[in-house]
Amino acid sequence: VKVYAQIINAQGYERVMVFDPHSDVTPALLDQVEVTTNFPFVQKVLQLLDNQSLCLVAPDAGATKKTHKLAQQLGGMEVVACEKIRDVKTGQLSGFSVFSDDLKGKDCLITDDICDGGGTFLGIAEALRKKGAGKVYLAVSHGIFSHGFEKLEAALDGIFTTDSFRDIVHPGVKQMALASFI
């Protein structure tokens, strides 16, 4: 990130816009940066779902603080925190945990900044269902989806993303224009 930030800064832009950065490091390294959070995107997803009893799900420890802040912005929504174990040598995921005793059929919206292969969301969706979740949706700001949609569609009741990475034409994915949020 430091190398890319130096290249961008050398251009001397009046404004550099960043949408839902993965960490606070990116905006800290950029000059003239303006950050747009995932709030307007998630707010639009919630409008589309039109579900008053939905709870937000933080898929891992790294997303928990951000999800709690988002929940406050959205009027105090309930947050369910989750955790996973990743083998740093192999990248393999295991040990998905949901920190809730019983979700009692409550519908869940997993929110995160990026989905590459989707392993985190597959594991979390399964763990949520084992805890009694109703419908499970995914809203990711930046959808790469390098492993396609087949497994994600089987595990989730809906997938939402923006066009920040690429255009997606797939019946199981609702893609929104990033330009409408910045």
Catalytic residues: 84
For the record, the structure tokens of 141 come out as 């700001």
Specify the 3-state DSSP secondary structure of 98: strand
**What is the rounded distance in angstroms from the CA atom of residue 75 to the CA atom of residue 43?**
11
How far apart are alpha carbons 179 and 20 in whole angstroms?
Answer: 13
Backbone φ/ψ region at 106: left (φ over 0), alpha (ψ -120 to 50), beta: beta
**C-alpha distance from residue 54 to each of 35, 119, 159, 182 (Å):** 27, 23, 15, 25
